[in-house]
Amino acid sequence: MNGLALRIALVAAGLICLVLFATYIVGLIREDGSRDTLTTIEKLNTEAGNAGENARLGRRECVARGMRFDFEAGKCLGHP
């Protein structure tokens, strides 16, 4: 009977190790997915910020040259 109890204990320990390992792997996969999502959001925020800055600079240059800027179209229309 002692051998059977040892086998059961070893199988239980093996199953516990397997569950812990699977939990660790799932955690790594989720962390990697979260990191990818954050990188994508940062990239989109940077692109949006750059586009806004470029539009602001374009408007400022247009007005500085004495031209009229159309906000709806988002472009310089030339002299009024």
Residue type (1 letter), 24: Y
- Give the predicted TM-score (pTM) of the model: 0.50
Q: Residue 67 in contact with residue 77, Cβ under 8 Å?
A: yes
| pLDDT reported for residue 80 | 64
55: exposed, middle or buried (C-beta count within 10 Å: 0-12, 13-18, 19+)? middle
| pLDDT reported for residue 61 | 87
| pLDDT reported for residue 15 | 92
Instruction: Identify the band that residue 13 occupies on the pLDDT scale cut at 50, 70 and 90.
Output: very high
Helices (H) and strands (E) in the chain, counts: 1, 2
